[in-house]
Amino acid sequence: MSFVRRLLGRAEQAHPDDEERGPGAIRLIVGLGNPGGEYAGNRRNVGFWTMNRLARRHGMEFSTKTGLYQLAEGEIAGRRVAIAKPRTFNNDSGKAVHALVDRLRLDDAAELLVVCDHLDLPAGKVRIRARGGAGGQKGLKHIIGVTGTDRFPRIRIGIGRPVVRGEPSWNPEDVASWVLSDPPPEERALLDAGVERAIEVIEYAIAEGVEAAMNRYNRE
């Protein structure tokens, strides 16, 4: 049975208030962003920044093979995990995630953790949730659409919303320009601090569980 069918079966049987699986459930961490050097410093790529630093911290190296994703495997908190960066663009992230969860034979949504940017959190602010909607993040939306479930944990790193004439903007052109541009040095420092915070949350969630990480980090 394919991953999607297994996962959908579990999602249909589960009650919305069911607690996520216990410590060690996370087996795959995927950071979202856009591939290519021209996008490397963009706000959108905070998920990639997080994966790069997380891999270095734990002595993992990303594969250089071509395909839908780059993958690094190793141990965090004594548990075997995989870290991945899609080679698809952010809005098509579900293609890479589908391939990854099939390769790793995941059969529960709780085994997947996604890290992405979020417009409606201040720059560098970090939040973890056990499940939920996309919140406007198109990569997250595509993953939900491809897998057929939103019952996987995610960490959002705030990049703030663009301000136009003194007011926050939801204009698609303003938003696209914002997420696909590099932040100035002061803002980059806030985002870098957010990345370090996200790594701390990931490590804690792997060791102690997503619910424990929510209780510890979402209060701050």
What ranges do the domains of the chain cover?
A: 3-14+22-217
How sure is the predictor about 65, in pLDDT bands with cuts at 50, 70 and 90? Answer: confident
Please, what is the average pLDDT of the chain?
Answer: 90
CB contact at 8 A, 129 and 213: no
What is the pLDDT at residue 189? 98
Q: The whole model's pTM is what?
A: 0.89
| Distance, CA of 173 to CA of 22 (rounded, Å) | 42
Which of 203, 212, 218 minimizes the C-alpha distance to 26? 203
Tell me what the mean pLDDT of segment 191-203 comes to. 98
**Rounded mean pLDDT, 65-81:** 93
Superfamily holding 3-14+22-217 = Peptidyl-tRNA hydrolase (3.40.50.1470)
Q: Where does the pLDDT of residue 18 fall: very low under 50, low under 70, confident under 90, or very high at 90 and above?
A: very low
Q: Cα–Cα distance between 90 and 198 in angstroms, integer?
A: 19
Whether 87 shows a pLDDT value over 70: the answer reads yes
pLDDT tens digits, one per residue of 158-187: 999 999 999 999 999 999 999 999 999 999
E strand residue ranges, 13-138: 28-31, 69-76, 79-86, 112-118, 126-129
Q: Is the dihedral of CA 50, 55, 56, 62 positive or negative?
A: negative
Percent of the chain topping pLDDT 90 = 85
The pLDDT of residue 174 is 97
For 141, the token pair is 């939306």
